[in-house]
Structure 1
Amino acid sequence: MLPQIAATTLFAVSVEFFFMARARLLIFFVVVLDAMGIGIVFPTLPELLRVLMHGVGDPARGYGYLLSAYALSMFFASPVLGALSDRFGRRPVLLLSLLGTAFDDLMMGLAPTLWVLYAARILAGFSGANLTVANAYLADITPEEERSGAFGKMNACFGVGFIAGPVLGGIAGMYSLRAPFFLAAALNIVGAVLAVFVLPESRKVTDAKRITLAQLNPFASLRNVFRLHGIAPMLYVFCTMDMVGQVPSVLWVIYGNSRFGWTPFVVGVSFAVFGLLHAIFQSILPERFQRWVGERGSMLAGIVADTVGYGLYSIASTTLAAFSILPLLCLGGIALPSVQSMLSRSVDESRQGELQGVLTSLNSLIAVGGPVVASSLYSLARTRIPQYPGAIWLAPVLLYVPCVAMLLWWRGQRKSAEASLV
């Protein structure tokens, strides 16, 4: 009898492990395709905007409005998609999002006028919160103790796709200004086919709660999540990391050109090196750091590495010095998977989609104002302290200092609480 029970248990565990492994690989692949679809349009989108403006207005300002419109629409859409995935399952919502994004890409590729391009980009924001559902899916199929490593691999997959996308977009753009948009649509359709025929559903929806109007309101969702016990410190760290990320995303190319005289080729090499290191580090290190020093230790290690890296970058005076700091900045990325893992454990399975939607909304909200703030601070620093051209890179350092202090305090509080129970 015991051998039969053992064999049955082993078979059940093996089936569950196979399901989890296959589902995880598939969702990773879908994320790679999604990231490639996002990145593919970057090389030609500004030029397409300029063509459709017909010489009227400032293309740079128009491009900024286009990015802000996309981020703002994603802010409103993410909680909705997350709540829908809690109610109806991850797979149908992911399918809807992928097909909607494919339609938006086709609409942009065929856009005859400027207003059609803007409308398509806004619709892309409403349907493009695929990562919200993908993160909820990953949390569903991954045990709590393994989520740091899983989220790290997810971030690595997104990074790989986001790097490969602009390369493919640049090649396609050599043949036609609109070709990258059609290629992006094709990639999203491939992802949708996988979601229909290959990707299994990650959670039962028979006992799911009905969606309330509050869940469809991004501001109400933010308020509800912030009210959860003990989640505010992690949300603060998450938002700070997002704000820090706005600085290099906006200024890396501009600063590289101004400070080091980088050509487009060198800029491309810097992105490739950073992307490769980021993917490697995210795939390997988060899980190991969690075993060595725990999740809070991983967060502290990542934030300290980022802080030191940006501090050194602010005084770097040569391209070689700048490139030598890239591994340190990539090491800083180990903090995010631990934050994501701890946040995912703060809610039960029935609210994972809502939580991931709120996180994407926060990311989008920061992306609306972040570029303006970062570029304004850069201009102000160049005007007020021209003798210190790297001063802007001290902004991430200043943002991180309260995070380090809070995590150290929080760690001490937890240890004191644990000691009092002994």
Structure 2
Amino acid sequence: MMRLPLFFVLITVMIDAMGVGLIMPIMPSLLQEVQGGSLADAAIWGGVLATTFAVMQFLFSPILGALSDAYGRRPVLLISLIVMALDYLVMALAGSLWLLLLGRLVGGITAATHATAGAYIADISRPTEKAANFGLLGAAFGIGFVLGPLMGGLLGELGTRAPFYAAALLAGLNFTLGWFVMRETVTDETRRAFDWRRANPLGAFRAIGRIPGISGLLWVYFLYSVAIYVYPAVWSYFTAERFGWQPQMIGISLAVYGICMALVQGGLLRYMVRHLGERRTVIWGQIFDFFAFGILAVISSGGLALTLIPISALGAVVQPALQGLMSRAVADNQQGELQGVMTAAHALSMIISPLMMTATFAAFSDKNSGYYLPGAPFVLALVLMLIGAAVFVRSRSSVT
């Protein structure tokens, strides 16, 4: 009974992920096509567009999460999908930087449905299954991360706008599927009235942060999100500068990472949580990330970068394990609110990280300067990851 609705929700998350990965391989060419300028200029504007997307996701994730607690998961997901399809059409037709910016504004709102999807997973999961089932969401995101860059890289050969038309079609088809198969999981017993004081990001953070054990884990989740976003923020620019990769190769490398991440979160995570527990799963994931960041910071071989991707993907167990820890700590009628807060925390990291990482790349990618190090953003990510790991290890709450 729940298989088709679950499939629809996972496809929705996949399409959300494609919204990020789709434009990564074509973004340098698209920005230079629209406004001209150098690769470094494109990197800066790419960071601005990514941050714009994240600002809207930050503002609207708690709102959509709270709306789904009040009115149900189904209407929130369906309305967001149809708006998403229209937004991709606007992006496909955009002939100026300002229209691209408008598209990212609307796209950030529609991508905030990740919170509602997470709440649906919490609705249908037993407490001991939550971390593993959140891994399914991560796997769906990973598949979207594969399809987005592949579509962006391969269809980008036909033109910088072709990927957006394809994404609009996918969103429209998924809306049609959801209209017929999605069933509501919010009942009269779990429904909670919408309250603007808790729906705005600050109010939602305060409300969730009062739950014992949650505050420290949210900080870990936030710091991890800032660090791990180094990949989508600078990978296209870093590999183009360091290895001379073209859009097709960039798309392939991102696809390999997405496949590995999907396998880790859809399969390996369940095994790790069962045998190690959620807490030790988080610690091991952080160790894998330390190793990957350290090598990428100084690497000069594109082939070695490709072989490192599976190790980098092992760190993908961290976020769903943290989600499982926090979801078990809140009541059933707060799942949408919690997922909204977590999505907002992730979005806040996406506001900070692209600007931070692209600015670091721009500062250290000038060969005429005395401090040429294109991998400098990975050094920064490693430092942030260490801080998050220290906070997590010091945590002694009942939740962990």
Q: Give TM-score scaled by structure 2 length.
A: 0.87
8 Å Cα contact 1:37/1:185 also seen in 2: no
1:393 is aligned to: 378
Query: Structure 2: how far apart are the matches of 1:255 and 1:45?
Result: 13
1:147 aligns with 2:147: no
Q: How far is 1:235 from its partner?
A: 0.6
Cα deviation 1:361-391 (Å, max 9, x = unaligned):
1222221221221233345556887376645
- Any residues of structure 2 matched to 1:159-308 within 5 Å, and which? 159-175=142-158, 177-205=160-188, 208-308=191-291
147-156 or 246-255, which deviates more: 246-255
2:325 is aligned to: 342
- Note closer, same or farther for the CA distance 1:308–1:168 as it changes in structure 2 (3 Å cut): closer
1:354 is aligned to: 337
Q: 1:408 aligns with which of 390, 393, 398?
A: 393
Aligned residues: 395
2:141 is aligned to: 158
Q: How far is 1:134 from its partner?
A: 0.9
8 Å Cα contact 1:305/1:329 also seen in 2: yes
Query: Structure 2: how far apart are the matches of 1:385 and 1:143?
Result: 56
- Note closer, same or farther for the CA distance 1:396–1:25 as it changes in structure 2 (3 Å cut): same
2:9 is aligned to: 27
Query: Structure 2: how far apart are the matches of 1:177 and 1:402?
Result: 39
- Note closer, same or farther for the CA distance 1:88–1:120 as it changes in structure 2 (3 Å cut): same
Q: How far is 1:263 from its partner?
A: 4.5
1:120 aligns with 2:99: no
Q: 1:92 aligns with which of 51, 69, 75?
A: 75
8 Å Cα contact 2:294/2:382 also seen in 1: yes
Cα deviation 1:194-234 (Å, max 9, x = unaligned):
22111221221465222112123222212222222110121
- Note closer, same or farther for the CA distance 1:110–1:234 as it changes in structure 2 (3 Å cut): same
8 Å Cα contact 2:61/2:340 also seen in 1: yes
43-52 or 191-200, which deviates more: 43-52
2:220 alignment partner AA: V
253-262 or 129-138, which deviates more: 253-262
8 Å Cα contact 1:49/1:59 also seen in 2: yes
1:31 alignment partner AA: V
Instruction: For residue 128 of structure 1, give the secondary structure of its aligned residue in structure 2.
Output: helix
Superposition CA RMSD, Å: 2.9
8 Å Cα contact 1:286/1:334 also seen in 2: yes
1:290 alignment partner AA: V
Structure with higher RCO (Cα < 8 A, 6+ apart)? 2
Query: Structure 2: how far apart are the matches of 1:322 and 1:169?
Result: 21
Q: How far is 1:247 from its partner?
A: 2.0
Query: Structure 2: how far apart are the matches of 1:364 and 1:122?
Result: 13
* Paired-residue identity, %: 34
Query: Structure 2: how far apart are the matches of 1:273 and 1:263?
Result: 16
- Note closer, same or farther for the CA distance 1:237–1:327 as it changes in structure 2 (3 Å cut): same
- Note closer, same or farther for the CA distance 1:173–1:317 as it changes in structure 2 (3 Å cut): closer
- Note closer, same or farther for the CA distance 1:103–1:218 as it changes in structure 2 (3 Å cut): same
Bigger Rg, structure 1 or 2: 1
1:81 is aligned to: 64
2:266 alignment partner AA: S
Cα deviation 1:6-56 (Å, max 9, x = unaligned):
xxxxxxxxxxxxx3444433322332344345544555566555555589x
- Note closer, same or farther for the CA distance 1:295–1:206 as it changes in structure 2 (3 Å cut): closer
2:293 is aligned to: 310
1:106 alignment partner AA: L
8 Å Cα contact 2:44/2:358 also seen in 1: no
Query: Structure 2: how far apart are the matches of 1:267 and 1:43?
Result: 6
1:70 aligns with 2:50: no
Cα deviation 1:77-130 (Å, max 9, x = unaligned):
111111100001101110111111112222333446554443333222223312
Instruction: For residue 129 of structure 1, give the secondary structure of its aligned residue in structure 2.
Output: helix
- Note closer, same or farther for the CA distance 1:326–1:61 as it changes in structure 2 (3 Å cut): closer
8 Å Cα contact 1:24/1:141 also seen in 2: no
Q: How far is 1:142 from its partner?
A: 1.2
1:333 is aligned to: 316
Query: Structure 2: how far apart are the matches of 1:382 and 1:111?
Result: 30
Instruction: For residue 211 of structure 2, give the secondary structure of its aligned residue in structure 1.
Output: coil
Q: How far is 1:265 from its partner?
A: 4.6
Q: Give TM-score scaled by structure 1 length.
A: 0.83
228-237 or 204-213, which deviates more: 204-213
